Structure 1
Amino acid sequence: MSRANPALPVDSFDYIVVGAGSAGCLLANRLSRDPTSRVLLLEAGRKDNHPWIHIPVGYLYCIGNPRTDWLFNTEPEAGLNGRSLRYPRGKALGGCSSINGMIYMRGQVRDFDDWAASTGDAAWSWDNVLPDFMAHEDHYRLDDGADPAMGGNSRFFDLHGHGGEWRIEKQRLRWDILEAFADAAVEAGVPRSEDFSSSDEAGVGYFEVNQKAGWRWNASKAFLRPARRRANLVVWTESEVERLLIEASASGRRHCAGVVLHRGGRSVTVAARREVILSAGAIGSPQILQLSGVGPAALLAKHGIDVAFDLPGVGENLQDHLQIRAVFKVEGAKTLNVLAGSLFGKAKIGLEYALLRSGPMSMSPSQLGAFTRSDASRPHPNLEYHVQPLSLDAFGEPLHTIPAFTASVCNLNPTSRGSVRIRSNRRGEAPAIAPNYLSTDEDRKVAADSIRQIRAIVSQPALARYKPVEWKPGVEFQTDAELAKLAGDIASTIFHPVGTTRMGRDDDKLAVVDGRLRVRGIDGLRVVDAGVMPTITSGNTSAPTMMIAEKAARLILQDARVNA
């Protein structure tokens, strides 16, 4: 824990940040730069000293582990033919950045221009969020000042940052089967891409990852470690917020005066002199708001919670990326299924990582990526591939014993919308998470088309020497109806929940926060996490969440100066 300033009361802070995940760690760093402000960062989980957090392949041992995961599950989903999915959320310093896939991905230019249009705030346009992405980047391509592969790098300098806290590196591995898939994608008409974060993402190439010299680089290492030397930053772990303190101000408006949290077996009240900032994620933040009386009045009344402010959008608008995993048996190809199938192979993998910090133990869950259109009429890529030299039934399950690779594909812009709603007024009870997957005709059509596209790529000559055979889902499924039902049987989340506290215009009755991320109707309270996204970004959501936090920190400090 950081050393507290003895001149200040221990139960009062200028800023209280709830949640030490990707957004919360960055916010704590930025807000504590001002030595006159005292900042409290709260994390319900423990420190990030669990060894599997830091070894890249350790996500296999962190997801589904109560030491590092909230262990949520979705409600049974009609679009998934009644199935319920595991819904991992990080529970440790670093939050989801301690258990996620480590893929660095911003999204497409259109995503952010659409945010600006939907909120009426140009601050969220691509041109105005790009500096917030770059502000904390430390991109490996700029280590030597130039990268010949990027054509002299002048454009790359305009799009990426160097010297920031958030390390972005090249993956430390190579697989022939992935090279062959990339070649097959090119044969199918997909261009090659050197940088998925520079335009509309179209193309095939290797994902860049948030690692440093073969270790996971999480938000705790990046932003908390340097900041915790500051006397004005206090970090409390194993401290779960029970509710916000919502009071009536002299003006008649509601005001968030602090939080009540569970720490050390008892309830503790902590006051906020300036602001409380919820960064508990797209699941945690709406849950805390609802438990505090901020949310849909009917839901709150149902659970005996006094309504502090009727805000119908809290917990609504849930969006997520659903992936369809196609598995192909191969011949004559090295895959992880075979390599890790013997004690000798496992020893070799361990030795390679111990000596070189490379090989399978340095792998992110997905290595090769591609962005394509599900049909030619689409103006932008709307599918993302995650291709892996392995196969299994689900993450956390054993590898299959046959040589195989997996090509997973997700709809980047789903039209289905779900919800996060409390089940009771008890802090410890998980909310009902209902993503409502595949609930629209468009989403079911994209799912069917995406399976056909996988098959078209795998049928190209570049993969022929490995004699790929579709094992799952199976070539017997061909019609739109069959493929849509099949998607419901085999699809799974890639853990990108957003939108449950979305920002919007003043006349948008379902918007929870405004363009400056202030909660409507409650002074002194903001939400800064993936929940504020009006629509999901076209790719992995970790980097956009950090961009939101970078921008929010500036907005918070600007407002503090105005109100001083």
Structure 2
Amino acid sequence: MIDNAQFDYVIVGSGAGGGPLAANLAKAGFKVLLMEAGGDEDSLNYSVPGFNGLSTEDETYRWDYYVRHYADQAQQERDPKFVPSQDGVLYPRASTLGGCTAHNALITVYPSNSDWDRIAEITGDESWNAASMRKYYEKLERCEYLSPAEVIATGHGSSGWLVTEKSDTSGSPQDWQLQTTLQYAVGVANQAHTMGPINPLLDPNTRKVAEEGREGYLTIPLATADHARNGPREFIRQVAAQFPENLTIWTGVYVTRILFADGDDNVAVGVEYLAGRNLYRADPSSGVRCKVTEPTSGKVHVTREVILACGTFNTPQLLMLSGIGPKEHLAEHGISARVNLPGVGRNLQDRYEVGVVFEMDSDWTVNADATFGDDPDFDAALAQWQATRTGVYTSSGSALAFLKRSSPDQPDPDLFVFALAAHFQGYFPRYFSHFEPVRNRFTWAVLKAHTRNTAGEVKLKSADPFDRPYVNFHYFEEGNDTDGRDIAAVVEAVGFARSMMNGSPYVTREVLPGPDIQGNEALTQWVRDQAWGHHCSCTCKIGGSDDPEAVLDGDFRVRGTRNLRVVDASVFPHIPGTFIVLPIYMISEKAATVIIAEARGAVASSEDLMPSTVPATNSSARGGIL
């Protein structure tokens, strides 16, 4: 590494926001340095869709945060996932090229149009409206599960960097128990809840579904190419190979501070970093060092901008360590406030999730050959995936899902309820390894979207850049959803899931919530005790100039500074859609358009200033219900 090297842009973090942004700026001809704290190692845990649970336990990628859901200790300890020694609940994150896109469940679902229109209203900037933002989705996607004519007719993309497919479980062992269970659920949902197919293609991402806020059942689009994980990592590598003079990638570098020019203008000019692995204390291997691996310090400067894409926890942490944040809180840790921005680290939001779990009559046969090992000689499902890219490992685990309103007055569907042939009740150490051997469990995973609670917070524990921050989501009554609509929606979804299993021929018993948890009061308390999330967002929100809590303007610039932006999940004022990764990809594409336009002295346009796409082909293969 060259100390004090000159780049146009330094981007800190290679995940869903920073990775595509770096690639797009490099393609546009700018010299970009992309800095990633983790490495760039490949593995089966990364590539195989069915191994996404294992990827969250892989120490090569893992950063373990422990977060609180409540300040109330007694209520916090009611959660069976609470780890007393860590004073929190496990919140898996990934530190590697591609960030958390390296270990997510690959689910790629379009957000609601209202998510974008709301930002347009807040900022007064119509480039944020739903029609304008749809163009970014069409640009970045390469849809491979529809025919070319269907792609055009339904508003998908055909030549972007993100390939989307649906699982191909052909060749898997026939599982009448699973097929019957899913068909029974569809029948109940249709007859008792008028929940038919979301559209003839079972696709949640068509333009009409977003425009009309449709409800119904669907099969889930996945971010896979040839049924292997694809995302920012592949895009970054492709662009770096094509434009090596424009895109420089540094892995194993942890940024500790933003550098500013002398004077009162708060002009960002670079970053300070340490080069070394396993430095951050969320890393399970942190503190294991010797003289050979002793980190080295450095600084790097830019000619244009510093862009933070460190994620919802680490972006506000880095801003605060650099003197940008709530003045009083910074003073508690001996940090002088360069810019007093009270909103940094506030407004933390997430989905609420619970698992409604049932015991089945017998073990599943669909995954009977799957050992989740790394040797195809001892894992027939892995051998099939490697040879033909078919079988149970082409799926991230769910064959069927429902988009549903929790109540008729909801403007958009706010529940995503999806089926898993496994036991899943949230995250705790070794959660996947603990439940994987149990092969006779079925879970309806409930996800509450468009949550109303905005009272979570990320705060510094110290001025040490390697300390994990304090994270508290302040769930339910501790938050500002004063009328309790969030928790009522989750309770309603639990009832919906139960109804689809009531009388199902292969169900032997309900494991969670369990037969003893009945009635609204008991179910509400069970949700308080069990709920979790893994789509943290909104801690550096975009807002209008009249909002004292706004951290960014509508062009991602940090207020009170120059040449400093944020492009990651923290920018949203309100948590968007059902699964957050696709909205982050979309704001990354928008940020590229805005930044390129500014650099060229032009007016940003989502039509004629977006970086060019890469050639692609389509296939007509479709996924379906098992």
Q: Same fold (TM over 0.5)?
A: yes
In the other structure, the counterpart of 1:240 is 254
- 1:499 paired to 2:546: no
Map 1:151-230 onto structure 2 (within 5 A).
Answer: 155-156=153-154, 159-173=155-169, 175-176=178-179, 177-188=181-192, 189-193=194-198, 194-198=202-206, 199=210, 200-230=213-243
Map 1:548-559 onto structure 2 (within 5 A).
Answer: 548-559=587-598
Counterparts of 1:388 and 1:346 in 2: how far apart (Å)?
Answer: 24
Counterparts of 1:367 and 1:71 in 2: how far apart (Å)?
Answer: 29
Q: What is the SS of the residue equivalent to 2:101?
A: helix
User: How much has 1:346 moved relative to structure 2?
Assistant: 6.9
Q: Is the 8 A contact 1:277 1:525 kept in 2?
A: yes
Q: Deviations over 1:200-233 (max 9, x none)?
A: 2521111100011121112111343233331121
User: Which shows bigger deviation, 516-525 or 341-350?
Assistant: 341-350
Q: Deviations over 1:156-199 (max 9, x none)?
A: 1xx11101111000112275133443343223321212221232
In the other structure, the counterpart of 2:287 is none
| One-letter amino acid matched to 1:24 | G
User: How much has 1:376 moved relative to structure 2?
Assistant: 3.0
Q: Deviations over 1:244-264 (max 9, x none)?
A: 013344xx4211111001114
Counterparts of 2:241 and 2:567 in 1: how far apart (Å)?
Answer: 21
Counterparts of 1:201 and 1:312 in 2: how far apart (Å)?
Answer: 38
Cα pair distance change 1:468/1:412, threshold 3 Å: farther
- 1:42 paired to 2:35: yes
Q: 1:67 aligns with which of 60, 63, 68?
A: 60
Counterparts of 1:44 and 1:372 in 2: how far apart (Å)?
Answer: 39
Q: Deviations over 1:298-347 (max 9, x none)?
A: 11111111211010101111111121100112236736676658999973
User: How much has 1:32 moved relative to structure 2?
Assistant: 0.9
- 1:411 paired to 2:448: yes
Q: Is the 8 A contact 2:271 2:299 kept in 1?
A: yes
In the other structure, the counterpart of 2:423 is 391
| One-letter amino acid matched to 1:237 | T
Q: Deviations over 1:368-409 (max 9, x none)?
A: 221112223333211111211122454423236362210011
Cα pair distance change 1:366/1:302, threshold 3 Å: farther
Q: 1:33 aligns with which of 27, 31, 54?
A: 27
Counterparts of 2:574 and 2:508 in 1: how far apart (Å)?
Answer: 37
Cα pair distance change 1:275/1:482, threshold 3 Å: same
Counterparts of 1:390 and 1:90 in 2: how far apart (Å)?
Answer: 23
User: How much has 1:541 moved relative to structure 2?
Assistant: 0.7
Counterparts of 2:545 and 2:425 in 1: how far apart (Å)?
Answer: 45
Q: What is the SS of the residue equivalent to 2:204?
A: coil
User: How much has 1:364 moved relative to structure 2?
Assistant: 1.0
User: How much has 1:563 moved relative to structure 2?
Assistant: 9.3
Q: What is the SS of the residue equivalent to 2:119?
A: helix
In the other structure, the counterpart of 2:389 is 357
Cα pair distance change 1:31/1:172, threshold 3 Å: same
Map 1:7-26 onto structure 2 (within 5 A).
Answer: 11-26=5-20
Map 1:72-471 onto structure 2 (within 5 A).
Answer: 72-75=65-68, 77=70, 78=72, 80=76, 81=78, 83=82, 84-142=88-146, 144-147=147-150, 155-156=153-154, 159-173=155-169, 175-176=178-179, 177-188=181-192, 189-193=194-198, 194-198=202-206, 199=210, 200-230=213-243, 231-249=245-263, 252-264=264-276, 265-331=295-361, 334=364, 340=370, 347-394=379-426, 395-396=431-432, 397-399=434-436, 401=438, 403-417=440-454, 418-439=456-477, 440=481, 441-459=484-502, 464-467=504-507, 469-471=509-511
Q: What is the SS of the residue equivalent to 2:347?
A: strand
| One-letter amino acid matched to 1:385 | V
User: Which shows bigger deviation, 88-97 or 55-64?
Assistant: 55-64
TM-score normalised by L of structure 2 = 0.82
Q: Deviations over 1:458-500 (max 9, x none)?
A: 23xxx6332453221112222322112111332222x111101
Q: Is the 8 A contact 2:65 2:92 kept in 1?
A: yes
| One-letter amino acid matched to 1:406 | T
Q: Is the 8 A contact 1:337 1:391 kept in 2?
A: no
Q: What is the SS of the residue equivalent to 1:499?
A: coil
- 1:508 paired to 2:542: no
Q: What is the SS of the residue equivalent to 1:58?
A: helix
Cα pair distance change 1:246/1:533, threshold 3 Å: same
Cα pair distance change 1:390/1:69, threshold 3 Å: same
Counterparts of 2:349 and 2:372 in 1: how far apart (Å)?
Answer: 40
| One-letter amino acid matched to 1:106 | Y
In the other structure, the counterpart of 2:292 is none
Q: What is the SS of the residue equivalent to 2:461?
A: coil
Q: Is the 8 A contact 1:246 1:292 kept in 2?
A: no
Counterparts of 1:70 and 1:349 in 2: how far apart (Å)?
Answer: 29
| One-letter amino acid matched to 1:424 | S
Q: 1:477 aligns with which of 495, 512, 517?
A: 517
User: Which shows bigger deviation, 344-353 or 194-203?
Assistant: 344-353
| One-letter amino acid matched to 1:360 | V
Q: Is the 8 A contact 1:337 1:399 kept in 2?
A: no
Q: Is the 8 A contact 1:108 1:197 kept in 2?
A: no
Q: Deviations over 1:24-68 (max 9, x none)?
A: 111111111233x31100000001423321111232222133321
Q: Is the 8 A contact 1:286 1:314 kept in 2?
A: yes
Q: Is the 8 A contact 2:326 2:342 kept in 1?
A: yes
User: How much has 1:128 moved relative to structure 2?
Assistant: 0.9
Counterparts of 2:44 and 2:439 in 1: how far apart (Å)?
Answer: 30
Counterparts of 1:235 and 1:409 in 2: how far apart (Å)?
Answer: 38
Counterparts of 1:361 and 1:57 in 2: how far apart (Å)?
Answer: 4
Q: What is the SS of the residue equivalent to 2:221?
A: coil
Q: Considering only aligned residues, what root-mean-square deviation do their CA atoms show, in Å?
A: 2.5
In the other structure, the counterpart of 2:601 is 562
Unaligned runs of 5+ residues in structure 2 are: 83-87, 171-177, 277-294, 604-626
Counterparts of 2:124 and 2:238 in 1: how far apart (Å)?
Answer: 37
Counterparts of 2:152 and 2:20 in 1: how far apart (Å)?
Answer: 28
Counterparts of 2:398 and 2:274 in 1: how far apart (Å)?
Answer: 37
Q: Is the 8 A contact 2:163 2:230 kept in 1?
A: yes
Q: 2:527 aligns with which of 484, 487, 492?
A: 487
User: Which shows bigger deviation, 358-367 or 123-132?
Assistant: 358-367
| One-letter amino acid matched to 1:409 | V
Q: 1:527 aligns with which of 549, 566, 577?
A: 566
Q: Is the 8 A contact 1:277 1:527 kept in 2?
A: yes
Identity %: 29
Q: Deviations over 1:418-444 (max 9, x none)?
A: 011111111111111112222342222
